[in-house]
Amino acid sequence: MDRIVIEGGRPLHGEIRISGAKNAALPLIAATLLAPGWHTLHNVPNLRDTRTIMALLQSMGVQWQWEPDGPLRINSEHLVGNEASYDLVKTMRASILVLGPLVARLGCARVSLPGGCAIGARPIDFHLRGLEKLGCTIDLQDGYVAARIDGRLQGNTVTFDIPSVTGTENILMAAALAEGDTVIKNAAREPEIGNLIDMLILMGCAIEGCGTDTLVVHGMRELRPAEIAIIPDRIETGTYLMAVGAAGGEVVLRNCNPEHLPSLLEKLQAVGLEIECGADFIRVARSAPLQSADITTMPFPGFPTDLQAQFMALMSISTGVAVIHENIFENRFMHVAELRRLGAEIRVDGHTAIVTGVDRLHGAQVMATDLRASASLVVAGLAAEGSTIISRIYHLERGYADLVAKLAGVGAAIRKEKEPS
């Protein structure tokens, strides 16, 4: 098993190129199941999660080609299977995204209840109730979701109790092949959903309301293959912005979209970072002590829950007290204990963390508990004095492409090595 070692206290200088968004790539890959023929996806990040979903599709007869630094080409013409087995689904909750496309195209699907990071319940009830509204019969059997329809899915109105990103994506894909119109109310508005809508439109589906909480999908009898680029990863972008904030220095992030991070950029300016934005770049610099700021995680365009842990690490070296409210997931403070090992002063009260800034953090051995918690330990390690050793980095590799190389390229003393036996 591998680990990451960071010698902290070194300012960062240079440029980092942002990869494609994991949370956009996964639903777009799933959407290729809707139409036979060769789809072409550009800017796909080479991650553990993208490789997992491609292995899942391959197990169902899907062909794919992916050259280094080239586009991912996928052909589901010879789709023969409709089952997503536990062995593949257990490591990645987003595997549930194949449920809607499989039912819409084949009329039935059997998908294992998903796994992934243990940051909260994240029930799939939204997906199942939405598919039932479109005419699916759903049964839970031995840890699997079994879905089937007679004929085609039927357009209907689907209303989410709270905005669900993957729920919205699953219903969007299913509705694209439904008979008639489907209205999705209280839909999530994240940029990754916009990327999926763009792909479905290229595939021949008419969709209204992109960027709003009400989507209207005009279902089609059949769709065609598409060619599209994955949007830049806003969570990777935010993580590197806060890495510079923690370590100091000046870095330009390329191939990113500042419009996808309105709340974070506002907070980073409030804590004292210099932020300059262009159409596809962000320059960040820190030349003064960090000020404290409060955040509350919210659906887009609010502060992303996927950046909460990294912001907490940043606030641990601020000059003041920051209050962090986690409104999305009920168990997303598992990184607190590990940040305390580095010297952070953090008190947790239910869904709220109170962070009292300290003068400096100190390197220690820490353990990653989930994907974004891993990133927070990297941010903290860059600021800490001495050596920080992060174990269980397979979590990190689910969502960050070439993180060690990218940080080393801007001056961080960081390396990946084997755990001692």
Q: How far apart are CA 309 and CA 314, in angstroms?
A: 9
67: number of Cβ within 10 Å? 8
Bond from prior residue into 36 cis (ω within 30 degrees of 0) = no
Q: How far apart are CA 27 and CA 317, in angstroms?
A: 37
Q: Which residues does 344 contact at the CB level (< 8 Å), separation at least 6?
A: 312, 313, 316, 336, 355, 358, 361, 380
Helices (H) and strands (E) in the chain, counts: 13, 24
What are 66-72's contacts with CB under 8 Å, separation 24+?
Answer: 71/40, 71/41, 71/42, 71/44, 72/29, 72/40, 72/41, 72/44
Angle made by CA atoms 283, 236, 33, in degrees to the nearest 5? 135
Q: Which of 352, 331, 264 is nearest to 304 (CA)?
A: 264
Is 312 in contact with 283 (CB distance < 8 Å)? Answer: no
The SS3 assignment for 174 reads helix
3-state class percentages of the chain: helix first, strand second, coil last, to nearest 5 = 35, 30, 40
How far from each other are the two terminal CA atoms of the chain, in whole angstroms? 9
Q: Which residues does 392 contact at the CB level (< 8 Å), separation at least 6?
A: 1, 3, 367, 368, 369, 374
Residue 210 annotated as catalytic: no
Catalytic residue among 117, 136, 205, 256: 117
Burial class (CB in 10 A: 0-12, 13-18, 19+), 17: middle
| Strand order from edge to edge, sheet including 249-254 | 12-17, 249-254, 281-286, 274-277
Is 331 in contact with 120 (CB distance < 8 Å)? Answer: yes
DSSP state of 82: -
Q: Which residues does 123 contact at the CB level (< 8 Å), separation at least 6?
A: none
Q: Residue 15 is encoded by which pair of tokens?
A: 């440029």
Residues catalogued as catalytic = 117
